[in-house]
């Protein structure tokens, strides 16, 4: 059974940083592109970032470009999202998703003073 487990969320002050992690199991992690998707409280889904399987191809939503960095460690079946210069509008549940087909349960990020 495919499983994705996110961690690393929490409360952070505006301007601060957080690093989210997602550990994958039940599928060949290294062969799939991976995404981060977020959902602000009471709002819809917003695609955040994508990283390719083997090549270091990365893409970002305009709202996070220059502040967030996606990376992966295929040896540890892990996906990461380094979030810097956080803003109140980054407050959301952050989901990791394999090819946007399988999703984790999410980790909550709250940016507030």
Partner 1 sequence: QSALTQPASVSGSPGQSITISCTGTYSDIGTYNSVSWYQQHPGKAPKLIIYDVTNRPSGVSNRFSGSKSGNTASLTISGLQADDEGDFYCSSYTGTDTPYVFGTGTTVTVL
Based on the shown chain and the rule CB under 8 A, indicate whether residue 1 belongs to the binding site for partner 1: no
String marking each residue 57-86 x if it binds partner 1 according to CB under 8 A = --xxxx------------------------
Q: Which of 29, 32, 50, 80 binds partner 1 (CB under 8 A)?
A: 50
Q: What's the chain's length in residues?
A: 113
Per CB under 8 A, the segment of 18-26, 43-51, 68-76, 83-91 that binds partner 1 is 43-51
CA distances from 94 to 5, 40, 75 (A): 11, 9, 23
Q: Which two tokens stand for residue 32?
A: 């799939």
String marking each residue 85-104 x if it binds partner 1 according to CB under 8 A = ----------x----xxxxx
Residue with tokens 């979030």: 83
Burial of residue 48 (number of CB atoms within 10 Å: 0-12, 13-18, 19+): buried
Q: Using CA atoms, how far apart are residues 66 and 32, in angstroms rounded to an integer?
A: 24
Based on the shown chain and the rule CB under 8 A, indicate whether residue 27 belongs to the binding site for partner 1: no
Chain residues in the site for partner 1 (CB under 8 A): 35, 37, 44-47, 50, 59-62, 95, 100-106
């Amino acid at each position: 059974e495919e499983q994705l487990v996110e961690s690393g969320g929490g409360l952070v002050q505006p301007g601060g940083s957080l690093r989210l992690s997602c550990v994958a199991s039940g599928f060949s992690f290294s062969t799939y592109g991976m995404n981060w998707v977020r959902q602000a409280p009471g709002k819809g889904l917003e695609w955040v970032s994508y990283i390719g399987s083997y090549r270091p191809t990365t893409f970002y939503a305009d709202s996070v470009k220059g502040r967030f960095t996606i990376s992966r460690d295929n040896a540890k079946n892990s996906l990461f999202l380094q979030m810097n210069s956080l803003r109140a509008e980054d407050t959301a549940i952050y989901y990791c998703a394999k090819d946007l087909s399988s999703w984790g349960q999410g980790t909550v990020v709250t940016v507030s003073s």
